[in-house]
Amino acid sequence: MTGVLRLVLIAWWFQLKIRSRSAFDGLLSMVYPLFFATTIFLMYRAGSAGDTALVSAAVGASVMGVWSATSTTAASSLQQERRQGTLELLVAAPSRFSLIIFPLTLSMATVGAYSLVATLLWGRFVFGIHIAVAQPLTFALAIFVTVIAIGMLGFLLAVSSVRYRSAWALGNMLEMPVWLICGFLVPLSVLPSWLHPVAWVLAPTWGLDAIRAAAEGRPGWTSLGLCVVLTVVYGLVGALVSGWLVDSARRDAKLALT
């Protein structure tokens, strides 16, 4: 167990250092969500929804960046390893493949956490949106869990799209639907009812609800628990899928060909 934890921590830190030196993964991940947040703040300010809706949207907008930093880069991460010629080395490593890939996507979500803070500060100092947090410790815990959940969702996306050469396009395509379906910017109740089950199986839906609950001072432990459960499920499914894909690629000798 200690060895696994050490591997995850070291790989996460290593990947985080790589990403923080990339203009695309580092700088853009922080700035890009601000464009959307600014647009949304201006829309809410111009509209008739009131301050409560604006604050709720501001919390959601701050988490948008975590998913933005993860979706496209996670989907294309294994393709990038393949292009760099390091995918074979990762597969050949004595550690489980899933334990090497998860820290990679977790580092993306961590970069996104920078953007979460940046968006909250942007809202506070540029738009004067003051988010009064009723339960600061639960708020911080909910953010931590949501970042891990998004990292794990990215992990599932990364291993599921290993056979898809243009996976970055898939990740890019999924960016806004997740913002919309998980209720980052609008309440789930305004979306068509057939989308609700989709939202329920996405961990960010529950993570965001827990963050909002902590900010508003209502109980959010059920949402937080569901977020954790879904994160574990993503991890298990991702580990199974990655194991199956690696075995298949080894058996057919086509790791570099897909």
Query: Which residues lie near other proteins (CB under 8 A)?
Result: 23-24, 27-28, 31-32, 34-36, 38-40, 42-44, 46-49, 53, 57, 164-166, 169-170, 172-173, 176-177, 179-180, 185-187, 190-191
Q: Which is nearer to other proteins, 7 or 199 (CB)?
A: 199
Whether the CB-CB separation of 33 and 115 falls below 8 Å is answered with: yes
Q: Which is nearer to other proteins, 5 or 31 (CB)?
A: 31
Q: How far is the CB of 23 from other proteins (least distance, A)?
A: 4
Reported as half-sphere exposure (CB side, CA atoms, 13 A), residue 248 has a value of: 11
Cβ-defined contacts of 234-240 (< 8 Å, 24+): 234/149, 234/152, 234/153, 234/155, 234/156, 234/203, 235/98, 235/102, 235/152, 235/155, 237/156, 238/98, 238/101, 238/102, 238/152, 238/155, 238/156, 238/159, 238/160, 239/96, 239/98
Q: Which is nearer to other proteins, 11 or 202 (CB)?
A: 202
Residues 6+ positions from 118 with CB-CB distance below 8 Å: 30, 34, 65
Q: How far is the CB of 5 from other proteins (least distance, A)?
A: 34
Q: Which is nearer to other proteins, 164 or 200 (CB)?
A: 164
Q: Phi-psi bin for 131: left (phi > 0), alpha (psi -120 to 50), beta?
A: beta
Structure tokens at 245: 């894909």
Structure tokens at 38: 């600014």
Q: Report the distance separating Cα 251 and Cα 31, nearest Å.
A: 43
Q: How far is the CB of 227 from other proteins (least distance, A)?
A: 22
Q: How far does Cα 183 stand from its chain's mean position?
A: 14
Q: How far is the CB of 103 from other proteins (least distance, A)?
A: 24
* Residue 102 amino acid letter: F
Q: How far is the CB of 256 from other proteins (least distance, A)?
A: 18
Q: Which is nearer to other proteins, 133 or 191 (CB)?
A: 191
Q: How far is the CB of 7 from other proteins (least distance, A)?
A: 31
Q: Which is nearer to other proteins, 16 or 57 (CB)?
A: 57
Q: Which is nearer to other proteins, 148 or 178 (CB)?
A: 178
Whether the CB-CB separation of 142 and 207 falls below 8 Å is answered with: yes
Q: Report the distance separating Cα 5 and Cα 23, nearest Å.
A: 29
Q: How far is the CB of 209 from other proteins (least distance, A)?
A: 16
